[in-house]
Amino acid sequence: MTKKYVMLADTTRCINCKACVVACRAEWDTPIGHTRDWVKEVEFVEEGKPQVMLFPGRCQHCDDSPCVEACPSGAAYKREDGIVLLDHDICSGCELCVGTCPYEARWLNPESNTISKCTFCQPRVDEGLEPACVNTCVGRALIFGDMNDPDSEVSRLLKEKEWQQLVTDEVSVGPNHYYYTAGQSIPDEVKPKVPERHLAGKTMEIINPIGAIGIAGMALAFLGAGVMKFIGRRNEVSTSENKEEK
Amino acid sequence: MSDTNTPRMILVREKKSVYMHWFNAGIRLLLLLTGFGIISGELVRIVPAFWPEFMQGLFGGNDNLILTHSVLAMIWIVVFVLFILFNLTNIVLPFLKNVLVLTPSAAIRDVKSMIINLFQLFGLMKEVQIPPQGRYNGAQRLLGTMIIFCSFALAFSGLYLFFGPQFLNFSENSLYGAIFRWALVAHITSVFLVLTGIVAHVYFAIVEEPECLEAMKSGYIDVEFLKHHNKLWYEELKQEGKV
């Protein structure tokens, strides 16, 4: 069976040590000021007591990835096992994908001039290792694995606990990142934002169907003209043949 | 004694113009096939998904396909620039003078004659006379003007799309990325406009005016056809003693 990789984040076990962020930055040598993963703190008051929730975040490797749909060159793509990757050889750094990510997981790398994002540490995964962040997580808040394997830890945990995805009624693109919050609802601060598109991207969304309809319309119109011409010519020939017979 | 059934033909196009036309047509077709294969994302893709998949598979990846498309485009640009440089006064400038529609009044005149022409294809406006036309009729002039402007847009936007990411630091200035995105819009829009016009161009060449297709193959055209379709040009040629 095809693998389907997912990441689980148990927010009740996260201690905000940011070891995952450090491990990721070390693994991928990200430039100063940029990171592929993060931990978002959400503070609130419950029954008069201050509370904090911790949400480790990264690319959610969505099933209906808006970034893949927006990429003009196919540099952004989704592997069969669910990992959303980027072909740096063809990424132009045009950033058409950046605004479309509801989790703000994509950014233009100033060193490579291509887009960077979490890849679930795909080279490590292909070698049978865990992603760097999972490997280093001291509280075992992050768990990674194949949800199609019934014996995997993620399959077991997904059955045992009630996990939530970062989705809303408006934005539901099939993220493959699950969160356990011990029954707490997902705070608005970490919910996905409505994908934004550059004006150029929106323009293409309008131009493409108009262009396709225009070309198809022209082709149909001239096909019709050709058929009319053919019928007219056939009538002319049969009329002249009738005259000759008479 | 001359055979009255044999059409009287005159040379109206030099061989190099004929070769240039077919080179242009052939390379544009290849650019179209490869270009449609490059654009992959669902929201920006122009053709059904199977085509980019097929082309990228055929070329062993989109990077190879992009390179092929770009090399073909650069060959197209270089050949055109050389052709223009070596034939500026004898072919290019006279062609531009005949074909470019640059004033509103010329555009209105040509649009009118094009509309009559198109309506007559469907048996409408049969009684309306199209004003006498020169070397190129209204529709041809409008199409020619559009193709010339779109070709410049295609060439410049294409050069930026290929070389921009290689030589400019997109993270340094957000304008570079914005220009890239709008260059993509200009590139795609130009392709659509040219394609729309080409449908009519091919139809007229094959169905309505095969004499024009013949002229684009041999360089010769039937004088009777000229007299009927391009009266002003015929008069011009007559004055010059060429017919």
pLDDT digits (tens, 9 = 90+) for B208-233: 989 999 999 999 999 999 888 899 99
Indicate whether A148 and A237 sit together in one domain.
Answer: no
> Using CB atoms, which residue from A93, A110, A226 is nearest to B207?
A226
Q: For the domain that residue B71 is a member of, what is the CATH number?
A: 1.20.950.20
d(CA B142, CA B118): 13
CB contact under 8 A, B177 and A108: yes
Indicate whether A169 and A214 sit together in one domain.
Answer: no
B2 belongs to a structural domain: no
Indicate whether A221 and A186 sit together in one domain.
Answer: no
ipTM of the complex: 0.86
Tell me which residue has tokens 């039937």: B222
Q: Which residue, A130, A126, A134, A142, is CA-closest to A81? A: A126
B210-218 helix and B15-38 helix, angle to the nearest 10 degrees: 110
CB contact under 8 A, A96 and B63: no
Domain boundaries, position B166: 9-239
Helix (H) or strand (E) holding A41: strand A38-46
pLDDT in tens, A194-212: 988 889 999 998 999 999 9
Indicate whether A97 and A214 sit together in one domain.
Answer: no
CB contact under 8 A, B121 and A203: no
Query: What's the predicted TM-score (pTM) here?
Result: 0.88
Is B195's Cβ below 8 Å from some Cβ in A? yes
Domain boundaries, position A207: 199-246
B143 belongs to a structural domain: yes
At residue A44's C-alpha, the angle toward residues A42 and A45, to 5°, is: 160
- What pLDDT does B228 receive? 86
d(CA B105, CA B113): 13
A52-66, A106-120, A225-239, range with the lowest pLDDT: A225-239
> Using CB atoms, which residue from B38, B66, B122 is nearest to A225?
B122
Strands (E), A79-201: 84-86, 107-108, 115-116, 142-146, 163-164, 177-180
- Structural domain ending residue among the three candidates A158, A179, A197: A197
B192 belongs to a structural domain: yes
CB contact under 8 A, A211 and B192: yes
Indicate whether A41 and A101 sit together in one domain.
Answer: yes
Indicate whether A120 and A182 sit together in one domain.
Answer: yes
Is A216's Cβ below 8 Å from some Cβ in B? no
pLDDT in tens, B105-147: 999 999 999 999 889 888 888 888 888 888 999 999 999 999 9
Indicate whether A96 and A147 sit together in one domain.
Answer: yes
Residue B190 buriedness (CB in 10 A; 0-12 / 13-18 / 19+): buried
Q: In the structure, what pLDDT confidence band is assigned to residue B1 with cuts at 50, 70 and 90?
A: very low
pLDDT in tens, B68-110: 999 999 999 999 999 999 999 999 999 999 999 999 999 999 9
d(CA A186, CA A166): 7
Q: What is the number of structural domains in chain A?
A: 2
CB contact under 8 A, A73 and B40: yes
Indicate whether A119 and A99 sit together in one domain.
Answer: yes
- Structural domain ending residue among the three candidates A180, A197, A214: A197
Number of H helices, E strands in chain B: 10, 2
Indicate whether A242 and A139 sit together in one domain.
Answer: no
pLDDT in tens, B167-194: 999 999 999 999 999 999 999 999 999 9
Give B69 to chain A, closest Cα distance, Å: 13
Q: For the domain that residue A150 is a member of, what is the CATH number?
A: 3.30.70.20
Answer whether residue B4 shows pLDDT above 60.
no
Indicate whether A157 and A245 sit together in one domain.
Answer: no
Q: What is the number of structural domains in chain B?
A: 1
Indicate whether A179 and A206 sit together in one domain.
Answer: no
Give A60 to chain B, closest Cα distance, Å: 19
Indicate whether A14 and A114 sit together in one domain.
Answer: yes
